[in-house]
Structure 1
Amino acid sequence: MSRYKRYERYKDSGVEWIGEIPEHWGVKPLKRVFKIINGGTPSSSEESYWNGEIVWVTPNDLSKLTEACIVDSERKITQDGLHNCSARIVPKGSIVISTRAPIGYVAIAGVPLCTNQGCKSLVAINKVNPKYFYYWMHSISFYLNVLGQGTTFIELSNSSLSMVELLTPSINEQKAIANFLDQKTAGIDGLIADKEKLIELLQEKRQAIITEAVTKGLNQNVKMKDSGIEWIGEIPEHWRLSKIKYESLINNKTLSESTDDDYEIEYIDISSVTSIGGINDVQSLNFKDAPSRARRILSKGDTIVSTVRTYLKAIAFIENTQSNLICSTGFAVLTPLSKVVPKYLFYLMRSEKYVNEIVRRSVGVSYPAVNASDIGDLECALPDRDEQMYIVEYLDNFTMQINQLVNDIQLQIQKLKEYRQSLISEAVTGKIDVREFGSISEVI
């Protein structure tokens, strides 16, 4: 932050985690600046309380915000619902903060609204700049979480929140700081959005190249023929048609129910599989502590394909050689036979055509699923092993380059987010003097 000057004189704030503040700034407990208004929830069994016109904010609503103000909610309540619960309407400009599950989401009320009991609203006692205190509460989310208490769930109480220290520069300085941060964070957010879009485009390119390679091959001049399968389309003339169940074993090995209770397994669930087919968060568990669905035994070279919530595209390749690797019965485990290169089968199942076909064959709305036999019935067009290996080598090299680019961009995004958070903290605590920038635009 060396590019920004500091105030001329500072004093000790008297608050250890805040440190020094500008000499003319004050420190007040929150209860002297805001009234705390609790939320509430009407009875869910009374239909007349719901689907009204009153915005009723929950922590989930706050978690989805991409801007400072909140003007709508997923669910709304009626006047009857409001009168029959502890929720109260707070005015536009109030600050809404989640105080449980989790603590620290914050927004400014863009319309009069109320909240459920997972949120509290801060209504200013005297005139303040809401955006300044929005940034202040945003900057101290770490501290608010420290103050949370509870056993069943962690919650920030009224008494703890009321004693949170606030810095109180003049209203003009509050406005200048808020304007400065609006300008700067908008620029940073724009850079982040551009980089996220670039990641999205790279991932789309990766998916398109994988699909093209495993359904058309790499030779653009090869003679094609109609596969006879509508969703596959044309394939190279020399490729053979088959079905997945003829080219791989499916769910070949299962962990016995008589397994020793103390047998340690490395468990892969659907949530362990990343959007690009990687595996994270493998759990080490004793058999007795593992969920009943932890039964599929995995071997090196297997491909696992999610048969539940198929829209998540949880498809991964097993490169690990350990003998105690187990996955959920929510996966179909494909063990390729001799005519199929293991990694080729993975790329085939990851291709857009196969992902879409699996989703299409799924049954159910909120929890779509397919049977392992449905996956086994999928048609496939295959080149010989030598061509498969050539395609795998090409895709390995290509996806490695794409993944590296994505990782580099994600690191840039993380640094931008850290800079954004640091800038907010430095400005709202007076570590930098931004008064002269408060009403002008500046290039980041």
Structure 2
Amino acid sequence: MSYPSYPEYQKSEVRWLGNVPSHWEIFSLKRAVDGCINGVWGDEPDGNSDVVVLRVADFDRETLRVGTEKLTLRSVPERDKKNRLVRSGDLLIEKSGGGDKTLVGCVVLFDLGFDAVTSNFVGRMSPLPGFDANFLCYAFNSLYQQRVNYPSIKQTTGIQNLDVEAYLQERFCFPPKSEQTQIARFLDHQTARIDALIAEQQRLIELLKEKRQAVISHAVTKGLDPDVAMKDSGVEWLGEVPEHWEVRKLSTVTDKITNGYVGPTRDLFVEEGIPYLQSLHIKNNQIIFSPEYYVPKWWSDEHAKSILKPDDVLIVQTGDIGQIAVVPDDFPEANCHALIVTSTIKQSLSGSWLAWVLLSDYGYNSLMSIKTGALHPHLNCGYVKDIYIPVPPLLEQAETMDFLTHEEQGHQKLLSQAESAIGLLQERRSALISAAVTGKIDVRDWQPPSSETFPDSSVKQGVPV
């Protein structure tokens, strides 16, 4: 769907803003809000002066509102609280935080009815008379998406800090308040429709992941023949398996189960040498060698027990346990750190088959059953040896893996399509917000449809405004 432009425009003299409607005013952001009040963290709750303290973690970056799932209660003295109380219609801005992929400076609208203050990482901005809070929230979101706040960010440590005073010096365009309210009303309706489509795609992704897991689990524990005779495996979570399959302890079908090196190695890293794999390199159950770490060959030779060979199975031992990867041919003689290395006996078990088994529900539950540590989950190499593995004949292993590889290709194609659709919808959402709050489209006469079942086709396809 296309929207009309305004009849007349003026130059904004702001490079990234371009032309704006001729009756809109252009001035700094600080003239739209009553400054920025710093927050306070307070003390442990004492039952007397407790109040909700809103954190960056409470920001819902999709809806641009404050989430209420995990609110934090802190004790804040009245003298620190009275000038910091957040009112419905206030804007909250992230002053400190961010990360490698997330820029600090997100703004959300507080539209809830309880007393709260902000944490010391969050500032409160109250819209001045003549400004619609919802419009300002969309305006700040557009500025954030265009990284207009970037020049006002300082980073002397691992945390980004936003100089809010400098940021509020940035100039923006402002229509009359009645028009602000109409723009916000239009965007509330349109973004809700787009968000509903995004939610549908996200549900589809979850269903695809569930189906993938079910296909893997059935194939490696029940086989591909629906008419095969079955027997009780005698193993919890495994249930019945094909009658001609064996069920073996992992230690009986491997010639090596060992730990990767667990000592300090950072000082040993060199620019060229032996690839050195760590748990951070195992992502989505494959090896992604970034960042690249190398160790000297002499050091690797001294720690030969953790030298890898193709078809070895790597199991993440600490943290995100349950991640599995098979060593491909392009990592000859690589070494590894803090991973469980399993080398299978090729006459009985393919390394790739073992990986598929460990990726199944049965394999995952088996690993979880032997983990130790609540805050820092860890797998003991000795316990892994006692996991039971369903072992079909080698030919059947190969046939089943061919089937799973084909299924995986189809699954990844559907998953990529759903993720691409989400990306297009998110781009459409940002473009629509930017176009509306900067006057590139005229929505003064817009009214919501009296009834509708599905969003229009341009929103479905993520077509730019």
**Paired residues, what number?**
432
Moved more, 313-322 or 173-182: 313-322
Are 1:390 and 2:386 counterparts? Answer: no
User: 1:287 pairs with 280, 286, 295, which one?
Assistant: 295
- Quick one: structure 1 residues 280 and 435, their matched pair in 2 at CA, closer, same or farther if it must change by over 3 Å? farther
Partner Cα distance (2:417, 2:41) in 1: 48
Which residue pairs with 1:372 in the alignment? Answer: 381
Asked if the contact 1:39/1:114 (under 8 Å) is kept, the reply is no
Correspondence list, 1:9-24, <5 A: 9-24=8-23
User: 2:418 pairs with 409, 430, 441, which one?
Assistant: 409
Partner Cα distance (2:91, 2:334) in 1: 49
Partner Cα distance (1:135, 1:413) in 2: 20
Partner Cα distance (1:173, 1:69) in 2: 22
1:418 Cα deviation after fit:
0.9
Asked if the contact 2:260/2:340 (under 8 Å) is kept, the reply is no
Task: For residues 296-327 of structure 1, give each alpha carbon's deviation from its aligned partner in whole angstroms, at most 9, with x where no partner exists.
Answer: 433321221122235x6322222242236444
Partner Cα distance (1:309, 1:123) in 2: 42
Partner Cα distance (2:312, 2:55) in 1: 43
Partner Cα distance (1:87, 1:324) in 2: 64
Which residue pairs with 2:462 in the alignment? Answer: none
Which residue pairs with 2:362 in the alignment? Answer: 353
Which residue pairs with 1:105 in the alignment? Answer: 106
Say which SS state the counterpart of residue 393 (structure 1) adopts: helix
Asked if the contact 1:215/1:232 (under 8 Å) is kept, the reply is yes
Are 1:35 and 2:43 counterparts? Answer: no
Partner Cα distance (1:22, 1:370) in 2: 63
Which residue pairs with 2:234 in the alignment? Answer: 228
1:69 Cα deviation after fit:
2.6
Partner Cα distance (2:163, 2:222) in 1: 61
User: 1:344 pairs with 353, 378, 392, which one?
Assistant: 353
Asked if the contact 1:99/1:119 (under 8 Å) is kept, the reply is yes
Partner Cα distance (2:7, 2:61) in 1: 37
Correspondence list, 1:22-421, <5 A: 22-42=21-41, 46-48=43-45, 53-62=50-59, 64=60, 66-70=62-66, 72=68, 74-80=71-77, 83-84=79-80, 88-102=84-98, 103-111=104-112, 112-141=115-144, 142-152=147-157, 153-248=159-254, 249-251=256-258, 262=270, 263-275=272-284, 277-280=285-288, 282-287=290-295, 296-310=306-320, 313-323=322-332, 325-329=334-338, 331-338=339-346, 339-421=348-430
Moved more, 253-262 or 18-27: 253-262
- Quick one: structure 1 residues 134 and 209, their matched pair in 2 at CA, closer, same or farther if it must change by over 3 Å? same
Task: For residues 267-309 of structure 1, give each alpha carbon's deviation from its aligned partner in whole angstroms, at most 9, with x where no partner exists.
Answer: 444344334x233352213439x9xx9x943332122112223
Asked if the contact 1:175/1:438 (under 8 Å) is kept, the reply is no
Asked if the contact 1:266/1:282 (under 8 Å) is kept, the reply is no
Task: For residues 313-359 of structure 1, give each alpha carbon's deviation from its aligned partner in whole angstroms, at most 9, with x where no partner exists.
Answer: 32222224223644430x21222112112211110110111101211
Say which SS state the counterpart of residue 34 (structure 2) adopts: strand
Partner Cα distance (2:92, 2:263) in 1: 52
Partner Cα distance (1:162, 1:336) in 2: 62
Partner Cα distance (1:286, 1:52) in 2: 55
Task: For residues 192-249 of structure 1, give each alpha carbon's deviation from its aligned partner in whole angstroms, at most 9, with x where no partner exists.
Answer: 1111111111111111111111111111111111111122111111111211122122
1:405 Cα deviation after fit:
1.2
Q: TM-score, length-normalised on structure 1?
A: 0.89
Asked if the contact 1:56/1:116 (under 8 Å) is kept, the reply is yes
Asked if the contact 1:89/1:113 (under 8 Å) is kept, the reply is yes
Moved more, 194-203 or 31-40: 31-40
- Quick one: structure 1 residues 100 and 13, their matched pair in 2 at CA, closer, same or farther if it must change by over 3 Å? same
Gaps of 5+ in 2: 99-103, 457-465
Question: Counterpart amino acid of 2:75?
Answer: T
- Quick one: structure 1 residues 186 and 51, their matched pair in 2 at CA, closer, same or farther if it must change by over 3 Å? farther
Asked if the contact 1:253/1:296 (under 8 Å) is kept, the reply is yes
Between the two proteins, what is the percent identity of the paired residues?
28
Question: Counterpart amino acid of 1:168?
Answer: F
Partner Cα distance (2:326, 2:148) in 1: 41
1:49 Cα deviation after fit:
6.1
Question: Counterpart amino acid of 1:250?
Answer: I
- Quick one: structure 1 residues 245 and 84, their matched pair in 2 at CA, closer, same or farther if it must change by over 3 Å? farther
Question: Counterpart amino acid of 1:117?
Answer: N
Task: For residues 420-440 of structure 1, give each alpha carbon's deviation from its aligned partner in whole angstroms, at most 9, with x where no partner exists.
Answer: 111111111001112222555
Question: Counterpart amino acid of 2:154?
Answer: Q
1:51 Cα deviation after fit:
9.6
1:412 Cα deviation after fit:
1.5
Say which SS state the counterpart of residue 374 (structure 1) adopts: helix
Say which SS state the counterpart of residue 104 (structure 1) adopts: coil
Asked if the contact 2:92/2:123 (under 8 Å) is kept, the reply is yes
1:16 Cα deviation after fit:
0.9
- Quick one: structure 1 residues 18 and 325, their matched pair in 2 at CA, closer, same or farther if it must change by over 3 Å? farther
Say which SS state the counterpart of residue 150 (structure 2) adopts: helix
Partner Cα distance (2:439, 2:127) in 1: 21
Partner Cα distance (2:388, 2:200) in 1: 39
- Quick one: structure 1 residues 343 and 66, their matched pair in 2 at CA, closer, same or farther if it must change by over 3 Å? same
1:66 Cα deviation after fit:
4.4
Say which SS state the counterpart of residue 284 (structure 1) adopts: coil
